[in-house]
Structure 1
């Protein structure tokens, strides 16, 4: 499964094709799905382009995306960096009148348990983000962790040739606890393609998009999310 991560916290200074508006995000979603993406991960933006969890912004962008790609699962980020206030984030999540198919929750964040519980109570699936063995240990100790949709393992610091061992160490913690959730791998910038290739080698899902990086394997900058997804699908075809 290939998930396209369209924008993240990136700005147009990072890449001129980072989508901000509902129309830009919906257009990128459609192009990415046509190029082969099976799912979408989006950071919601307000009308000024700032990251947001406000109900009206969530509804506006989810509705625009679903109109262009009906039936495609759409997830959004709940990152602490968007709103570093646990109570406010939970209140906003409860206020959503249009809900995503899933939310991504970083387990290293201080209120991860509360945000997970809030999402699940609303019937929203949870993608649990793990970046270390410590994250994995914390996750498997959470009541109801098996109720999550999947585990998203992210390796972001460049350790050439060690990505595989870092993923294995996290998986050992999950296996030891009997966690059998599906796994999706991703990296960022220098680790984006190594982690995608690792996902293909191991038979896991992979994630590609301007949130994670803008360079192609050739070392040239990709034109947009569509080109990144097309490149990922070409690589997938070799496995």
Structure 2
């Protein structure tokens, strides 16, 4: 039997430009074309960063509206469209929250350490988490290390984050030398994840998890995650290389490095609707 996994593309990120790779999408039309190409490879979700007119990172509603419209024209509802709230040292938690509440997108990603950097931000963050849950905005909580994992489970235990309508993302190798990830970087996350689930009395698979990685072992890390029952995010945001060390021609080729390795193991990417059902 074939087992399905969710494949997401992170095609651009907040910092890279055409100077880093000519196929990195920056404009709304480029995002739409990239989304369509990645859909054909099997992705279920696009992790969306948009830019200002000068090419710099934006969380402005008008910039997001243009990017969202372009992706929807290209793929309709065949991809889950996940809006990033990444601050990049520019936006404060209140601005991140205001953008999401103005857009009311289908899905968002949010780093716990950005939206809740200290106890003074706890009331606003908890109110935001509750708003996401009530408004059926699927959140993906970004966890950079095992302390972030423990923080997530404390928020779950307190009721600040309710069960359901969300998933999490483990960022492998974010603080490693050269930001080069290895499949072994997944193991501390999985151990901390199981510890937190056990403490709450929840099956470790009840809340879905995914991972992203840096460097040419990205596809290898992603395959390890899928084999452990998780899901994967791949793309030019974190890595421009194929497993053989060559530059990937585009995001679709980077995704294909995983799907081609997973297929002989009876692992197949799921559809957007299956991902919506998984994270509802």
What TM-score comes out, normalization by structure 2 length? 0.77
CA distance in structure 2 between the partners assigned to 1:144 and 1:130 by the alignment: 14
1:89 aligns with 2:96: yes
Which of 239, 246, 254 lines up with 1:228 in the alignment? Answer: 254
Of 207, 216, 230, the match for 1:204: 230
User: Which runs of no fewer than 5 residues in structure 1 stay unpaired?
Assistant: none
Equivalent-residue separation in structure 2 for 1:45 and 1:118 (angstroms): 26
Q: Offset at 1:144? A: 2.4
3-state SS of paired residue (1:58) = helix
> Match for residue 20 of structure 1?
26
Contact kept in structure 2, 1:139 and 1:145, CA below 8 Å: no
8 Å contact from structure 1 (residues 151, 183) kept in 2 = yes
Match of 2:196, SS? helix
The DSSP-based 3-state class of the residue aligned with 1:19 is coil
Tell me what 2:188 maps to: 166
CA distance in 2, matches of 1:22, 1:174: 40
| Deviation at residue 82 of structure 1 after TM alignment | 5.9
CA–CA distance in 1 between the matches of 2:101 and 2:108?
13
TM-score by length of 1: 0.89
Greater relative contact order (CA < 8 Å, ≥ 6 in sequence): 2
TM-superposed CA distance for 1:230, in Å, is 1.9
Aligned mates of 1:75, 1:33 — CA distance in 2: 14
Deviation, 1:41, is: 0.7
In the TM superposition, 1:75-154 aligns within 5 A as: 75-81=82-88, 83-96=90-103, 99-111=104-116, 114=125, 115-120=128-133, 122-142=135-155, 143-154=160-171
Range with greater deviation from structure 2 (125-134 or 43-52): 43-52
In the alignment, what sits opposite 1:188? Answer: 214
SS across alignment from 1:109? helix
User: Deviations for 1:51-100, whole angstroms, at most 9, x for unmatched residues?
Assistant: 2111111111111101111112110210121633122222232222xx43
RMSD: 2.1
Listed as ranges, the gaps of 5+ residues in structure 2 are 1-5, 266-280
